[in-house]
Structure 1
């Protein structure tokens, strides 16, 4: 195997690891946020609208983290900036 094969293999494994972590932790945060929001609504049903509004804003912010990870992983996989140094 040459250097290029090792580089692409490590790059792919790193991208898979990054996307796994980048999806796992926001999913945990979303689950906790939804759980806490449901608990708050159960305690104060009259505040349902404000809690729901804040929940959706928070979920959008959490989801944006997973999207950023996806974008970075796609950049690493399809246009790896270190690849040009390896080819020289």
Structure 2
């Protein structure tokens, strides 16, 4: 089960997210559901459409299935998702 302690070892796709901080001011406060993840980007389905947010320079506030909020610096996520799952 995904928790605050092991979130880095789990798939992020499907989680609700809020961009709590970003280098690009247009990305601040973007919220929605993560629909895809690459090495450097997180794709978020918002009400206005899909937004691709760079991991570097961003802070993501994830809502876990048990409604716990976890804040993660995007630079900690910069790795291909499949490699991050194996490494963490």
Interval containing the TM-score (normalised by the shorter chain): under 0.3
Tell me: higher relative CO, structure 1 or 2? Use CA pairs within 8 A at least 6 residues apart: 1
| TM-score normalised according to structure 1 size | 0.24
| TM-score normalised according to structure 2 size | 0.24
Higher relative strand content: 2
Bigger CA radius of gyration: 1
Higher relative helix content: 1
